[in-house]
Amino acid sequence: MAQALRAEPRSELDGISVSIRDPTLAYGVVEVLGDLKLDVNEGEFLVLLGDSGCGKSTLLNCIAGLQPATKGQIFISGQNVTWAEPSERGIGMVFQSYALYPQMTVEGNMSFGLKNARVPRDEIAPRIARAASALQLEPLLKRKPAALSGGQRQRVAIDRTLVRDVDVSLFDEPLSNLNAKLRAELRVELKRLHQNLGNTMIYVTHDHIEAMTLADRIAIMRGGKIQQLATADDIYRRRANLYVAGFIGSPPMNLLPGRLDGNIFHGPLEADVTGYDFTGRLRAVLGIRPEHVRTGDAAAALPIRAEARVEVVEPMGADTPVWTRLGDTPFRVRLDGEDRVRAGQVLVHRLRPRQPVAVRRRHRDADLRLCHGEDDETVPATLFGPLRHALCRCDPPSWRARL
């Protein structure tokens, strides 16, 4: 086992808590994880985000040692743990289900792992006290799981990991079984906990709101590969491809197919896109965030105009997502909660583009990232000012840029 825990030269892993290098996992001909590289910094809160079946939980299980990768290497705290047992990796894991021992009290659940690890008895009580204080569990230490609410049980599961004082904490959708109010409360507690402890946390979720609010960085996954690794702000404003553009946001970005004719985009709406890095007669997709659409008298002077019929209104108090249709194309907008609209009403949408910023172009290393394939995934780094429309060229180029 000493070979499995061989240390990597520190110069390569300085400041890196977890390093994943080209792991591959396949079941027969079905490849669950493709080749990917991922470095998690010491003290970082990294979120693996994606739809069901994208490989995020599988990747987490490979880090934990619950599923061995077919090839590749995994390093934790500078040690090669690729073939090490889960108990030897210095990690703690919180599962989607609470996985508490029903016959034990909260204190017993928290101390069980410490006793198995032969932690000195005089150290166990102080550790439990510190962990219980972090998530306000002191009054519950003598209760059994059956006497706890769902949120309290999940707090115990999290504390059971923290009490072990591990280098890396892994969370596999720990809040998905809770109601909306408890999820919001525990999100705040988890973020506060990370800020206070400063240890490395890797968190799996399919909920982009959880990801955006918790993460230092987000790795968006699809088909066993990482589509984009960046901060929440970068992913929102500088998405790497059409999948990311349509995945992040509530409601998600409107992606309008059409064509460029010179500097004019023709599609469900017509827009002057002067200043973009490409012109001509091309297939293209125009991306518009729902929250960047304006309506009403205050927007009357904006140059781009489109009429859409309201299909569904979802009042949420502070704001109102509205599902409309531009011709045959669905179009989502997010209005102020004070705006009053109804199904069947015709809304006049207004947009205002301005010159894109930081436009540079370099062959094979362009801010305009072109790629081809069945999804026509293309994204530029050029953005339209405050409304941030993203224009995507869809004609298959002769080369693929490395994202």
**Are residues 264 and 195 located together in one domain of the fold?**
no
**Are residues 17 and 146 located together in one domain of the fold?**
yes
Between the CA of residue 379 and those of 26, 260, 281, 369, what are the distances in Å? Answer: 30, 15, 17, 5
**Are residues 194 and 55 located together in one domain of the fold?**
yes
Q: Helices in 33-93 by DSSP H: which ranges?
A: 56-64
- Amino acid 293: pLDDT: 86
d(CA 329, CA 66): 45
- Amino acid 376: pLDDT: 35
- Amino acid 186: pLDDT: 87
Give the residue from 234, 268, 295 where a domain finishes: 234
Q: Averaged in consecutive runs of 10 residues, what is the pLDDT profile of the chain (403 residues)?
A: 53 86 84 88 96 92 90 92 90 87 93 88 90 88 92 89 87 88 88 90 94 96 93 89 88 88 86 73 84 78 84 92 92 89 88 44 29 33 36 40 26
Give the residue from 234, 261, 294 where a domain finishes: 234
**Are residues 215 and 272 located together in one domain of the fold?**
no
Give the residue from 234, 260, 285 where a domain finishes: 234
- Amino acid 338: pLDDT: 86
Q: List all residues 6 or more positions away from 181 whose beta carbon is below 8 Å from its beta carbon.
A: none
Q: β-strand 329-336 against 270-272: which pairing, if any?
A: unpaired
**Are residues 197 and 267 located together in one domain of the fold?**
no
**399 within domain boundaries:** no
**Are residues 295 and 190 located together in one domain of the fold?**
no
**295 within domain boundaries:** yes
Query: Which contiguous run of DSSP H or E holds residue 226?
Result: strand 225-230
**242 within domain boundaries:** no
Strand partners, 396: none
| R_g of the chain, CA atoms, integer Å | 25
d(CA 63, CA 55): 12
**398 within domain boundaries:** no
**Are residues 131 and 46 located together in one domain of the fold?**
yes
Identify the CA nearest to 24 among candidates 34, 38, 36, 39.
34
**111 within domain boundaries:** yes
**Are residues 156 and 258 located together in one domain of the fold?**
no
CATH of the domain at 278: 2.40.50.140
- Amino acid 291: pLDDT: 86
**103 within domain boundaries:** yes
**Are residues 133 and 263 located together in one domain of the fold?**
no
The domain in which residue 99 lies consists of: 10-234
CATH of the domain at 76: 3.40.50.300
**Are residues 195 and 332 located together in one domain of the fold?**
no
- Amino acid 95: pLDDT: 87
**Are residues 167 and 205 located together in one domain of the fold?**
yes
d(CA 62, CA 93): 12
Chain-centroid distance of CA 322 in Å reads: 24
- Amino acid 366: pLDDT: 27
Q: What domain count does the chain have?
A: 2
Helices 150-162 and 180-197 cross at an angle (nearest 10°) of: 20
**Are residues 179 and 300 located together in one domain of the fold?**
no
- Whole-model pTM: value is 0.82
**402 within domain boundaries:** no
**245 within domain boundaries:** no
